[in-house]
Amino acid sequence: MEEERDDESLYPDDLLKIAKDPDHLGRMNDPSSSAYIKGPCGDEMEFYLVIDNGVIKDIAFYSEGCIATRICGEMTSKLAKGKRIEEVLDLSPKKVMGELNGLPADQKHCTILAVSTLYKAIAEYLLKP
């Protein structure tokens, strides 16, 4: 399983390009909120948000997980950046999958890990005193 999920030949070139050079990979020192989830597969995901007036002005994700984890973290970041929180609540793993043609079927749970971690970071923000 470990080797299979990191087999580049299973991914189309455009998705591999996203995995190799994601624009939003990184951590932030002083975000408005952040969240971490370890998925049942063992991969970990972190999300960092800068929120201003209800808008996600900046976003970063961090993961050392599989290729698909980086692809899904990047696409989730891209779809959420610049949007109002209410709009982002429409974002689903299905929507992220819809942007990622050719994502191997076994890796579709990676979209759930990415979107769940984003949602957890939003919840942390909304619940701040």
Return residues touching ligand FES (CB under 6 A). 5, 39, 41, 43, 65-66, 68-69, 107, 109-110, 113
Query: 38: part of which helix (H) or strand (E)?
Result: strand 33-38
Q: Which is nearer to ligand FES, 87 or 106 (CB)?
A: 106
The nearest distance, CB 87 to ligand FES, in angstroms, is 25
Calculate the alpha carbon distances from 43 to 21, 54, 61, 75, 111 in Å: 19, 30, 13, 17, 12
Q: Which is nearer to ligand FES, 32 or 117 (CB)?
A: 117
Length of the chain: 129
The nearest distance, CB 95 to ligand FES, in angstroms, is 17
Query: How many whole angstroms separate alpha carbon 63 and alpha carbon 85?
Result: 23
Q: Which is nearer to ligand FES, 32 or 77 (CB)?
A: 77
